[in-house]
Amino acid sequence: MSKLNVVVLYGGRSGEHEISLRSAEAVIAAMNPDKYQVSRYFIDLEGQWEPGPILPVPGAHPDIDVVFPVLHGTFGEDGTVQGLLELADLPYVGANVLASAVSMDKDIMKRVCRDRGLPVVDYVVLSRDDIDAAAVAAQLPFPMFVKPANLGSSVGISKAHDLAELEAALKLAAEFDRKIIVERGVEGREFECGVLGNEHPAASIPCEILPSKEFYDYEDKYLLNLAKVELPAKLSEEDTAEMRRLAVACYEAVGCEGMGRVDFLREASTGKLFINEINTIPGFTSISMYPRMWEYTGIPYRDLIDHLIELALERHAQKKATRFARQV
């Protein structure tokens, strides 16, 4: 059997560049060498490609069977690289252009979910040029979470307990994005749930994240190593089932394919679940929760990679069978 040529695309012009390096190493290490011939394509922090860029031209890369973008955040998880791969007519792992872009934008993603009646927290959107902390304070109760709309890894996010903190938080978020979102803070617990599939996605058994700090910020995620994880999440059967249902519903609402990790907040006072966000290229490091949740659910890391590659090839084949012009 001839091996499948897989490009692992990693690094990236993103605040999550370092995480991508770690994810890519773990993905490559888990790939079955009897099945796959792996090529590394590295994108540095300036956006330069090593050994060279993938060209946006069909047929330009006859040596590539499938691309696995292991890029987190900007210029990788947001639809930009997916657009390049569509132009190149190459199969690739994970969400398409639209689902990637929608999921990256914390405002659009919530709107799409709300349209399907899915639970998201109350929030307001501000433009960098039009910041008015007092107006926000009139609309939402404290504490609030202030976020750049289009980043990840908690970069630029703060929790504001009063007007002065809100002002500082808005200023900080404005450094990272033109669009800022301010959410009502949910006091309670935090969960994650993996989703896998194209037309018939399935949800993993969820886990609980127990931040070591007031919230799961960048330090806590990647530097301190103190946040704890409970897998399986200690939840009632009904809550677990509801979380898995909502995870799939969110995945379908944004049009995700391949994989996604849906993150939840559960309010202590009401027991209500809120969808916080969906990540279309979740962490894949050896300690990342997406592969660990699937492992726990019955799909070992190596099989997960096989599945993801099959899903990529399947989608590409289906697309090929779809007419895009009146006559070809």
Ligand X SMILES: Nc1ncnc2c1ncn2[C@@H]1O[C@H](COP(=O)(O)OP(=O)(O)O)[C@@H](O)[C@H]1O
Binding part of the chain for ligand X, among 64-72, 79-87, 152-160, 304-312 by CB under 6 A, reads 152-160
CB atoms within 10 A of CB 114: 13
Binding part of the chain for ligand X, among 9-17, 185-193, 293-301, 314-322 by CB under 6 A, reads 185-193
Q: Which residue is nearest to ligand X (CB)?
A: 216
The alpha-helical segments, DSSP class H, found in 177-260 are 218, 237-253
* Residue 121 touching ligand X (CB under 6 A): yes
> Which residues are bridge partners to 158 per DSSP?
146
* Residue 153 touching ligand X (CB under 6 A): yes
* Residue 158 touching ligand X (CB under 6 A): no
Contacts of 288 (CB under 8 A, 6+ apart): 23, 26, 282
* Residue 142 touching ligand X (CB under 6 A): no
From the candidates 25, 219, 222, 267, give the one annotated as an active-site residue.
222
| 96 carries an active-site annotation | no
Question: Please, what is the minimum distance in Å from the beta carbon of residue 142 to ligand X?
Answer: 12
* Residue 105 touching ligand X (CB under 6 A): no
Question: Please, what is the minimum distance in Å from the beta carbon of residue 317 to ligand X?
Answer: 32
Indicate the DSSP class of residue 94: S
- Relative to beta strand 4-11, strand 202-203 is unpaired
* Residue 160 touching ligand X (CB under 6 A): no
How many whole angstroms separate alpha carbon 303 and alpha carbon 31? 9
Return the number of the residue (95 or 309) whose C-beta is nearest ligand X: 95
| 222 carries an active-site annotation | yes
* Residue 77 touching ligand X (CB under 6 A): no
Contacts of 102 (CB under 8 A, 6+ apart): 108, 109, 112, 254, 255
Q: Which of 100, 240, 276, 285 binds ligand X (CB under 6 A)?
A: 276
Evaluate whether 12 touches 70 at the Cβ level (below 8 Å).
no
Binding part of the chain for ligand X, among 87-95, 110-118, 211-219, 281-289 by CB under 6 A, reads 211-219
Torsion angle of the four alpha carbons 6, 203, 20, 25, in this order, in degrees rounded to the nearest 10: -50
Question: Please, what is the minimum distance in Å from the beta carbon of residue 153 to ligand X?
Answer: 5
* Residue 103 touching ligand X (CB under 6 A): no
From the candidates 16, 77, 105, 217, give the one annotated as an active-site residue.
16
How many whole angstroms separate alpha carbon 284 and alpha carbon 105? 21
Cα of first residue to Cα of last residue in the chain, in angstroms, is 33
Contacts of 264 (CB under 8 A, 6+ apart): 190, 191, 192, 193, 206, 243, 246, 247, 273, 274, 275, 276
Tell me the catalytic residues. Answer: 16, 153, 222, 261, 263, 277, 279, 283
Which residues would be at the binding site for ligand X (CB under 6 A)? 121, 145, 147, 152-154, 157, 183, 185-186, 190, 211, 215-216, 263, 265, 276-277
